[in-house]
Amino acid sequence: MAAVLFICSLFFLGALGSAPKPCTSPELLEGKKTVFDQSGEIEGGQFSYDAVQKRIFAFKVKYFSNGTTLQEMEFLLFQESVRYQFYPESRKCVKSALRTPFQHIAVPSNATLIIQTYVGGSSDPQEGVLANIWNVETGDGVPYILTFTAYGCLPLSINYYCKEKGWIVESIYSLTTGISDPSVFIPPASCTQLN
């Protein structure tokens, strides 16, 4: 009963302020991301996101249950419709067509607000971050749960279900606006020499 009253009071407090609206993140972002799935696979790394020139760079390290790891650098160049996957350990590069359209980091317009809450503590403004948790239904019936900061529209987590891997949790952290090194979007020479 106490839990129900607590949840109801959170909804009431959320209703007192202006209702959060779907939003779009800043056009230039850098940060780190960790991905977990139910199979036990873990992926960590960093990314740079440029919505102006429609390009994304990601450096990933995959950790497998047998103790092995795999490093990968991914270059998604949407204006050129090209994806490069570079494996630093073997110096191998794979070039493929990028057929998906560029998507902004954003809360989609069809998202439904679940709750506005603090991530961390709420006793003092420095203890936590005010965040909005959203539900997004996709055309294939797969729910996405998105958590974005209430101010700045920065992504914090994405949770969704995949038939092959079960629930997948993406945690995003250490975000900064802007791009500190624009050269991260330039693939190694061995990639650009591929036909």
pLDDT digits (tens, 9 = 90+) for 78-125: 999 999 999 999 999 999 999 999 999 999 999 999 999 999 888 887
Alpha carbon 174 to its chain centroid, in Å, reads 12
**Number of C-alpha atoms within 13 angstroms, CB side, residue 56?**
19
Q: What CATH number was assigned to the domain covering residues 23-192? A: 2.50.20.30
CA distances from 6 to 12, 80, 90, 112, 122 (A): 10, 51, 54, 21, 14
DSSP assignment letter at 91: T
The length of the chain in residues reads 195
Domains of the chain by residue range: 23-192
The pLDDT of 58-63, averaged and rounded, is 94
How far apart, in whole angstroms, are the C-alpha atoms of residue 137 and residue 122?
Answer: 30
The CA-to-CA distance between both ends of the chain, in Å, stands at: 65
**In the chain, what percentage of residues exceed pLDDT 90?**
67
Q: pTM of the predicted model, to two decimals? A: 0.83
How far apart, in whole angstroms, are the C-alpha atoms of residue 119 and residue 132?
Answer: 10
- Both tokens of 142, joined, read 């797969």
Residue with tokens 């606006």: 177
23 or 194: which leads in pLDDT? 23
How far apart, in whole angstroms, are the C-alpha atoms of residue 66 and residue 54?
Answer: 36
